[in-house]
Chain A
Amino acid sequence: MIEVIGLTKYYGRFAAVKDVNFQVKAGEIVGFLGPNGAGKTTTMRILTCFTPASSGSVRVSGIDIAHDSMAVRRKIGYLPENVPLYNWMRVRGYLEFVTRAKGVPSSNRNQEIERVSKVVGIEDVQGKMIRWLSKGYRQRLGLAQALIGDPEIIILDEPTIGLDPRQIKEIRNLIKSFALNKTVILSSHILPEVSQICSRVIIINKGSIVAEDSPENLISGSGRTSRIQVSLRAPEHEATNLVQILRGVSSVKVLAPLQDGCSTLSVEAEKNLDVRPILARAIVEKEWELLELRSIDVSLEDVFLDLITEETIESRAEDNTTMGKEVA
């Protein structure tokens, strides 16, 4: 459906997006994940034909966006991050404007407005001024304008930003509901959101793709280690020493204790080996009191932070070597 090859975008000398390659198949919901300023919005702006790429190519169902941008624009519905709407318009008037601008034939306009209003649930605010809409309704109206003209691809930039938890849930369900027969690309820096809605995640940092997989694979494939948190009544130092020498344990970190006289340790162990029974037995043999023993799930958040910090460390190392060369 969407093929992106070697996409690069410079703003002046700053590369917002560097050599990005990815593909999106029809019917997928793909999430762009990345910290602010990672290049998510720029990538989306290129896909929606708002801004041209400096180099590289984007093909949407076989059509190059630089070649026939009008044809591509007809296939894409877009909701920018800050939901720009005409505040002085009424909801109905705005939707009429959008149907006209998107070239919906005049005989279908009312039908199209009613269809879309029903999908996003804004039938009861048709006569309201957009200025007076609540944030949740603004977001719905933003989605409505993206859906008008029944485009095959929907691109949403941070669709749930600034909403309250209930509204976030509603918008998510909305996206899921209309995503059944559409290709959706959405960006977010909220991780649970992406893992809930998306079938595939593309993690971007500093203009390049760092990882690309399903949320489940990212989580399971990420860590080389599993993490266990253990609390026991024993001197910190001795406990650390004991745990460290156990088979399969790769590192031990001291966390803040639960209460006085206790120690809490975070134990990293090999992935394929469950060290919990070994750990428990060792502690009991020492006749210490075991207060708590649980394994910590690696969340998408950890994966994300891991990937991004790895990147930064690597690039810093690179910087150092080049600096060294320059000095030499």
Chain B
Amino acid sequence: MHGLVAIFRKEMANFFVSPVAYAVIAIFLIIVGFFFWANVSLLSVISLQAANNPMFAERINLTDVVIRPLVQNMSIILLFLIPLLTMRLFSEEKKSGTIELLLTYPVNDFGIVMGKFLAPLSVLLVMMACTLSFLLIMAPLGSFDMGVFISSYLGIILMGSSFIAMGVFISSMTENQIIAGAISFGAALMFWMISWTSSFTGPTAGTIIRQVSILERLDSFLKGILVVSDVSFFVFFSAVFLFLTFRSIETQRWRG
């Protein structure tokens, strides 16, 4: 346990000393802030148009016009940004040789992997926590469905943890950060866009593809529904990649 804490703190320090975390958080907030502003502006325009159409006005609300598209956009931005957080976790240590010392300290491999997984996850949580300020801005504008908001955020964080686990695994495979980053990004993109093919791949393949597609899995969260299979999909996805990382470290020990 002491090892997990030590490595977690070291990784957090690295994120904030080499200002990777600041850069990623800033970019994320700028882009998300832009979408938020655009969505709220759109809401004000259509509200104006709806002023003389009460039927239409009933269907305009913050949840549908602002929150849902915003969270969808967040998922895509994170797809781009998370590989930047995870790419150096193991590859840098392998390149500089520090992994040799790390693996001879009285820290088990589980502690090393978890410490390295929890650090970028914490950066993600900080990032998401910053966007909670949108709540304060939206509150005077009208009412919205808090349940949808919470489940969407939960979905984003679960999706993020899946991408982080995958990124940690890929980083453990190479000592080149750029390769780790490129593969993590490509893999995340594949998992996300694979659902587009489901409409023309036939019924059996289509079902399978829909099952692994991250986009489809996020849908239920955006609707404010917590489906056990979707929650467990993300948890399982993360667990599998953390387990693979664990094995990858072990094989590297054997190779020396």
User: Do the two shown chains form a genuine complex with each other?
Assistant: yes
Interface residues of A (CB under 8 A from B): 9, 11, 16, 42, 45, 48-52, 70, 73-74, 76, 78, 80, 82, 84-89, 93, 97-98, 100-103, 145
Closest chain B residue, CB of each to CB of A54: B254
B10 at the interface (CB under 8 A from A): yes
**A51 cross-chain contacts in B, Cβ below 8 A:** 253-256
Bound complex: CA A85 to CA B18 (Å)? 16
Task: Say whether B100 contacts A80, CB under 8 Å.
Answer: yes
Q: How far is the CB of B184 from chain A (nearest CB, A)?
A: 22
Residues of B within 8 A of A11 (CB): 255-256
Asked if B100 contacts A93 (CB within 8 A), the reply is: no
Q: Which among A42, A70, A74, A84 is the interface contact of B101 at CB below 8 angstroms?
A: A84
11 A–B contact pairs at CB < 8 A?
A11-B255, A16-B256, A51-B255, A82-B97, A84-B99, A86-B14, A86-B98, A101-B2, A101-B6, A102-B105, A103-B106
Q: Taking A50-B256, A88-B17 as contacts, is the C-beta distance between A101 and B105 under 8 angstroms?
A: yes
- Tell me whether A50 and B104 are in contact in the complex, defined as CB-CB below 8 angstroms, given that A88-B14, A93-B13 are known contacts: yes
Task: Assess whether B9 is in contact with A97, with CB atoms less than 8 Å apart.
Answer: yes
**With known contacts A11-B256, A102-B106, A103-B2, A50–B100 Cβ distance under 8 A:** yes
Most buried by B among A16, A50, A80, A97: A50
Asked, given contacts A50-B100, A70-B108, whether A100 binds B256 with beta carbons under 8 Å apart, the answer is no
Expressed in whole angstroms, the Cα–Cα distance for A70 and B112 within the complex equals 14
Please, which residues of chain A bring their CB within 8 A of the CB of B53? none
Q: Which residues B88-120 have CB closer than 8 A to chain A?
A: 96-108
Assembly CA distance A85 to B102 (angstroms): 10
Q: Are A74 and B5 within 8 A (Cβ)? A: no
Nearest residue in B to A142 (C-beta to C-beta)? B101
**Given A11-B256, A51-B254, A74-B106, does the pair A100, B5 have CB atoms closer than 8 Å?**
yes
Interface SS, B side: helix
B206 within 8 A of A: no
- The digit string for B1-34, where 1 denotes a CB below 8 A from any CB of A, is 0110111011001100110000000000000000
Between A52, A73, A100, A145, the greatest number of chain B beta carbons within 10 A of the residue's beta carbon is seen for: A100
* Residues of A with C-beta under 8 A to B255: 11, 51
Pairwise interchain contact B106-A73, C-beta atoms closer than 8 A: yes
Q: Report whether A76 and B101 are in contact in the complex, using a CB–CB cutoff of 8 Å.
A: no
Give Cα distance in the complex from A70 to B107, angstroms: 7
Interface pair B100/A100, CB less than 8 Å apart: no
Most chain B beta-carbon contacts within 10 A, residue among A84, A87, A93, A145: A84
Is there an interface contact between B256 and A45, defined as CB atoms closer than 8 Å?
yes
Q: Bound complex: CA of A107 vs CA of B30, how far in Å? A: 43
A100 contacts B253, CB within 8 Å? no
Which of B5, B18, B100, B253 has most A Cβ within 10 Å?
B100
Give the CA-CA distance A189 to B255 in the complex, in Å: 24
Q: Are A103 and B100 in contact (CB under 8 A)?
A: no
B9 touches A84 (CB 8 A): no
B97 engages A86 (CB within 8 Å)? no
6 residue pairs, one from A and one from B, having the closest CB atoms: A100-B6, A84-B97, A51-B256, A101-B6, A84-B98, A73-B106
Residues of A within 8 A of B3 (CB): 101, 103
**Considering the chains assembled together, what is the distance between the CA atoms of A25 and B96 in angstroms?**
33
Q: List, in ascending order, chain B residues with CB within 8 A of A88's CB.
A: 14, 17-18
Report yes or no: A78 in contact with B106, Cβ–Cβ below 8 A.
no
| Contact status of A52 and B253, CB under 8 A, knowing A84-B97, A84-B100 | yes
Q: Tell me, rounded to whole Å, the shortest Cβ–Cβ distance linking A106 to chain B.
A: 9
5 new A-B contacts, CB < 8 A, other than A45-B100, A78-B104, A97-B10, are A42-B256, A45-B256, A82-B97, A84-B101, A85-B98
Q: In the bound complex, do residue B96 and residue A84 qualify as a contact, i.e. CB atoms below 8 Å apart?
A: yes
Least CB distance, A185 to chain B, in whole angstroms: 14
Query: How many angstroms from the CA of A145 to the CA of B101 in the assembled complex?
Result: 10
Q: Looking across the interface, which residue of chain A has its beta carbon closest to that of B98? A: A84
Instruction: Judge whether A89 and B6 touch: CB under 8 Å.
Output: no
Find the B residue at minimum CB distance from A71: B106
Name the CB-closest residue of B to A51.
Answer: B256
**A74-B106, A88-B14 in contact; A80/B253 too (CB < 8 A)?**
no
Query: What B residues does A49 contact at CB under 8 A?
Result: 103-104
A42 proximity list for chain B (CB < 8 A): 256
Cβ-defined contact, A70 with B98, below 8 A: no
Q: Known interface pairs A97-B9, A101-B6. Does A70 touch B256 (Cβ–Cβ under 8 Å)?
A: no
In angstroms, how far is the closest chain B Cβ from the Cβ of A158? 13
